[in-house]
Structures are given as structure tokens and as C-alpha cells.
Structure 1
């Protein structure tokens, strides 16, 4: 097995990149995830940041995205972000959760499988009460307003399918918005190698793995978020399980213990329940106007994508990309991909991610620097 990667070391030309060839008998992919962004009018205003981005700003640089920060989207990350922002001195007027939390009550076995998550949730809820942060469920930020930066957001109640309910909108004043709708598995490298994927409960795609976490391509294993969103503890358990499986295959040493398999299964059960509870409903596209930019890199609006589907016969994200350039920008669809796929799918279910020759943008110089014996 061969792989080409980049080297962060500076070789004198100033760009700090050069191709490096790696040969291995086994490959373990732990490529993580990226935030799911669902566009809405005004989401390109300065001051609108990803929920994970806001947390990263606070943890790494001790910087707040604003003084009065609304937190919105869906998923347990919102509670952690809001409590961290409030503890750091930001005023958080509301946490706007598009789903509810009653869905967890319908999955008692999954809840019992990971009581630590319940304790974490209770701690965040207590922090929000202490800082007097309102929790608005079954609601979403459907528009952001401002001139030079965000000054207020419109919050609207949602129906069961996330469709905005008429007559339920209200404005909340803020100078920043941290918004995110969960995470999406990063499968670019694996699908490039031909690994098969499976659809998860929230409509995204994760890698299809066997009991030893080996993909459908022999010799390629995966662990963590690329196998399905689960968090740090799931990733650690899966990393150990996959490493032991690889060692058994290559060296005939180290066994995968039943206790490790049970721990991984228990943690995955809660993670899968979490994914299902916070799955985006198809009605969220109802808060998009035709003028709303969906692909920020190429400035492609929802109206152009709808035209491609309605008038030009597009039925998937790839065709929409060819007709509108949506997803052709620097992020290569990581920001807009989920939204474009949802708008393009006639049945509301995005198709599996396409196989690409390159996982990330590379320069022609990098490709030219590869030796001629590349397989």
C-alpha cells in the first residue's frame, strides 16, 4: 500500500510543503469530522461563526467571538459551547436547539450505556441556569441581520420536520452567533481508496466497517468519527481495538478482548442515539430564500441550485456542481456539501460521497515533484 502525504517541514522554498511517499502493510485512518453547516439568510455576515469554531477560539486563543453571543443549531455541543462562553464572560441570550431532548427518553438503554454523558449534560444545564441562559428547543435561527456585522437574529419555532412555523418568529439582539448542526464524518481519504460507506441516522455517511473496524478495502482500518460521530471516548476505544486487530493480522500478537468490544459497543450505542435525536429534518430548506448563498466560496445561491434541479434536470450534488460550481471552491464542499446534497436530492436523501483522486487541494508543483515510478 502506498500513500502520498505532505511534509510540514520547510525545504527552503518557503511554502513548507513537499510530497512524501509512505509504504505500509496496513493503514489506520482516523480522519475525524467537520462541522455541519446549514445556511440561512445572513449566515455570511461577520460575527457568524461555527459552534466548534467558537469553542476553538476560546480554548486555543482565549478569544470571544463577541460580547453578546447567541448559540444555535442542534446537538449536545451547543450546551458545552454556551456554558464555556458564559463562564468566560460572554452574555449568552439564548441557546436555540432545533431538536428537543425528549428523544433521549425514548432510548433508555442507550442512555444507561453511558451515564457519564448524562452527568456532563446535567453539568452544562446547571451552568446555563447559573448564568441565566434561556434554552429554546424546537427552534432555529432562520436569519441573521446586520450591516457590517451581525446585530440580531430571527428565531423561529419549527415543526416536527424542522419546517418554520408561520407567525412564531422573534428577534434576539446579539453581536455574534455561534451556530452548528453537529458533525459530519470525514471520509475523503477512505472513499478515495474505494472504501464503502453507510448512511447514518442523520443522513450523512460514515465508513462501513467489520467487527475489527476494517473497511471494505483489505488492509485499511478506521477509527473515530470517520466510523460515525461519537466523541473522544469512542475514538479512543476504537483506536485501541483497530490497533490490536492490525497487530494480530501482521504480527500474530495482541488480541481484541471481549471487554474492549463491549466497551466500544456500549459507547457507540449512545453515540448512535445522539445522532438520531439531533438528525436535521428535511424542512430546514424552508428557511432559505432564493437569494441565500449556499456555496460561500463560489457565491452560489439557493435559487441557482433550485433552478439547476427544477429546469436543468440535476438530481445529485455532483450534477449541481457541474452546472453551478457549488462545491468547487477552496473548501471543496466541506462547508456547503451537506446543504447542496439536500437541495439536489429529489427524495430529500443525499447520495453517497463521490470518489475523488485527491482528498485536499494540492498544487501542480506538488504533483510534479512526485517521482515517475508512482503507482
Structure 2
């Protein structure tokens, strides 16, 4: 009898998803790759649309040649169906198979999106992560951007978010954002890194021989440092933006020194004139689909996987930022492993070694730049934490104290924090941290802000639309 072909559904078209799709195809599977954007690449390879592709794209992207090669392979392979503008809004668990995956295909804010439902034999979740921004007075002023948004505008539109910009937060991601801003003509007033020199040295400097396998990262770092030196951009560890000032938009920021726990050193603030500020304090995984599918999360909020990237749900695998924040090299290795296993293959020792090596890099990243709880001293009682529902830090703390409740669900319902249109994507982790800090015991249902059965906004008319042929096949 002829062998049956495994049907693999890959959700997410960034480095992890593209690597998973290529590996699954190489091992004989048929692949459907769902990407919510206009093109493959994700945030890491975000670029100008093909009709306006620039001649110097490689200057803004690492591994650009690899992206072009893999993209062409996927688009040209008859066994691969690349579906763009594909927005997964829900998954339905099944007892004997991976979940059903419900998708709306079309422009996110447009009308006439086409509903489809997929029933694959294997699923690879590669939905990536998003930035976490810690709140401070004035962070809701026009002109305050996430660093990723600034980089996306620079890469995909060649637009600078301001003329004189400060980049603030934590982590090496701040450095490529600076380079992107400089290449779009902005003046960068400085880079503030919340972790101080001593912590950076401990995180990156311990057992330096273990970094020999990540020499390519040193090359990337050298390029970013060269940009800082050439453009005389100050790099300021142990400091952060603690307030943004302005009327209709940002006009200046206050930069202050931080203690080791990220609490503000009293009297250390100084004012810097800017017309934009880009902020990023690391990343959180986009786990809503994996959570809805029943995948077990670990203590730190990432999807638990075994040595072959398999989740706790049979037939479901995960790769990339969902399993831990470690950059594109780790995502590519995990994606290759997940795609290989999803198609019934066995990962080779080379890619397993690369994955383990880059996980060590990810551990150093957390040790050097991970968020410290002293940040909770930054928001004043009047500082908005949940922007959708206009809930302040003071209201969160007061409600927690007055009710005495430790249940996240009841606290959310009382304050409405995290119940707005973004469903807690922007504020969820911050809300949980602020509430937990007011309690003697642990916060009950921690991580609940990542649970969103309806993953994206869907119109009632779309829900009532005619059942697609794919869904009819399931009945």
C-alpha cells in the first residue's frame, strides 16, 4: 500500500514557521503555512513590499539571503500552500486529533474576509512574541512608541518615528532598533539600558568559552556598536526613562539611574529633549492559540516542549518565541526540528546541537536583561496601566487592598483591567505583577491574561457567514 502523506499546518510565517515548513516539506509532508501579514518574514524579516523592494534590504536584515532562499522554496513548492492575511481567531480541541483551526482570510480591518477551517494531522505553532513595555508617567503620550513599532516603520516603510529619538528599555534588541532609526535619518539622542554594568557582566561574562559557538552574534554586535560609535550615540546602562513630558506629543523625557532591582535612585533624574521615544523591556510569547489548544505552559509563561519540540497535546508542536525568547537563530533551529518531527522525520545532531547552544544564549539574555520587580516604583498612582479601559496603577492597588481578593479573574472584573479591545495583550503581565505585589500570598490564576478563546476581533457578521467548504468537510 502507498504511504500516506502527513498534512502539517504551520501557524506563523516568521523564521520559526518558515523553517518548520521547509523541514516538513523536505521530509515528505504537505504543508499549509498561515501568515497574518502581507508577506512571509515576520517581525525579524519585515521588509518593503515586493513591488517597492529596496536594493539595500540586506543592510537592515541579518540572514537576508537565507530568507530570500527559503521564501522562494516555499512559494515554488507545489506541496506548500502559503496563505497570507490569514488570521486564526479560534481553535477547537478534539479528543483524538490536533485541534480544528478557524481562520479569517483577508485584510484585518476590511470586509469580506473568507472563513476557513483546517483539520490537520499535525500543527506547528510558531506565532512568535510581542514586546512588553513597562508603564511610566506619560507613556501614553503621542510620540511614545514600542521599539518594535519603530523598527517596523523603518524596515517596511523607511519612515523614522521622529527627528530626535531616545531608545530605552532592556535587551540587545534595542541596538538594531537604533541602527534602523539611523538609516532612516533620525538622530538618536541615546540608548538607556535598565540593567547596570555589573549585571551585564555577570550575565554575559560568566563562562565565556560557552559563547564560542555563537560567534555570529558577536559579529552582529560589532556592527551595532560601530553604528553607535560612528554616530556618537551614548549607551547608558543602569538608566531608564521614568517620565515623558509634553502636551499634544512628547517634547522631553526624564532619564534616571536605577538600582540593581530597577528601582529609581532618588534625585538622579535629568531631562532630555526629544520628539519621540522608543521603549522595549523584552518580549512575551503570543500563547493565546497554544493555550486554547490545551498546551501546557511553564512557570515563566512559555509553552512547555520536549527535546523534539512536542507540546503536551499529541500532534501539536511549537517553535520560536513561544518556547522562550532567544532570537532568530534559536527560532530557526527550533522550527527545523518541529517541522521535521511533524512530518515523521528524525532531527539530526547538528540542528539539535544548534538549538541547545542557542538556548544557552537565551538563558544569558534573561540573566543579563530580564525584568526586575523594582520597575513597580516607576508608575505613580495616576499612571494609566490599562489604556483600553483607562485603569491606573493606583486603582489596581486600591482595589486589590480593599477587596482582599487574590483571584485574578475577580480583580479583572472589578477593575476592568485587561478587558478592553486588546484583551490584555499590552497590559496583562504588568497588571498581574502590580496586583501580585499587593498580596501576601501568590496571585491565583496567574497567566490568565494570556487566555483568549477568541484570539482576534471578529465581526458578528463574519461569525454568521456561510460555512466554508473546509468546515463542511468536517461534518
TM-score by length of 1: 0.91
Which residue of 270, 290, 314 corresponds with 1:218?
Answer: 314
Contact 1:50/1:179 (CA < 8 Å) preserved in 2? yes
Of residues 181, 186, 207 in structure 1, which corresponds to 2:286?
Answer: 186
How far residue 167 of structure 1 moved from its aligned partner, in angstroms, is: 1.2
* Count of equivalent residues: 364
Q: Show the counterpart of 1:291.
A: 382
Listed one character per residue, the Cα deviations across residues 298-329 of structure 1 (whole Å, up to 9, x for unaligned) are 11111111112111124354333211111111
- Per-residue deviation at 1:4? 0.9
- 1:319 aligned residue: 410
2:234 is matched with which residue: 117, 120, 134? 134
The question of 1:3 aligning with 2:101 is answered yes
Q: 2: distance between equivalents of 1:115 and 1:348?
A: 44
Q: Name the SS of the counterpart of 2:188 in structure 1.
A: coil
Cα–Cα, structure 1 residues 9 and 118, in superposed 2: closer, same or farther, change >3 Å?
closer
Gaps of 5+ in 1: 249-253
Structure 1 distance, partners of 2:241, 2:159, is 23
Distance (Å, rounded) in 2 between the aligned partners of 1:293 and 1:195: 32
Q: Do 2:160 and 2:181's aligned partners in 1 also have CA atoms closer than 8 Å? A: yes
Q: 1:297 to 1:123 in 2, by over 3 A?
A: same
Q: 2:299 aligns with which of 199, 206, 211?
A: 199
Determine which of 442, 453, 456 is the counterpart of 1:357.
453
Change (3 A) 1:106 1:133: same
| Counterparts of 1:359 and 1:352, CA distance in 2 | 16
Q: Distance in 2 between matches of 1:166 and 1:348?
A: 29
1:256/1:136 CA distance change after superposition, 3 Å: same
Residue 218 of structure 2 is matched in structure 1 by 118
Q: Comparing 301-310 with 14-23, which one deviates more in the overlay?
A: 14-23
**2:370, 2:116 → 1: CA distance?**
39
For 1:268 and 1:148, the matched residues in 2 are separated by 43
Matches of 1:220 and 1:263, distance apart in 2? 22
Mapped partners of 1:347, 1:8: distance in 2: 48
Using a 3 Å threshold, how does the CA distance of structure 1 residues 314 and 367 change in structure 2: closer, same or farther?
A: farther
Alpha-carbon distance in 2 for matches of 1:289, 1:365: 42
| 1:276 partner SS | helix
Quote the Cα distance in structure 2 between the aligned partners of 1:14 and 1:58.
25
CA contact (8 A) 2:423 2:452 kept: no
**In the alignment, is the contact (CA less than 8 A) between 2:168 and 2:192 conserved in 1?**
yes
For structure 2, the residue ranges without an aligned partner over 5 or more in a row are 1-97
C-alpha displacement of 1:364? 2.5
4+ runs deviating over 6 angstroms? 347-350, 372-375
Deviates more, 1:16-25 or 1:134-143: 16-25
* Contact 2:159 2:184 (8 Å CA) reproduced: no
Contact 1:314 1:344 in 2 (8 A): no
Moved more, 285-294 or 265-274: 265-274
Counterpart position of 1:92 = 188
Task: Return closer, same or farther for 1:316/1:64 CA change in 2, 3 Å cut-off.
Answer: farther
What root-mean-square deviation, in Å, do the aligned CA atoms of Structure 1 and Structure 2 show?
A: 2.2
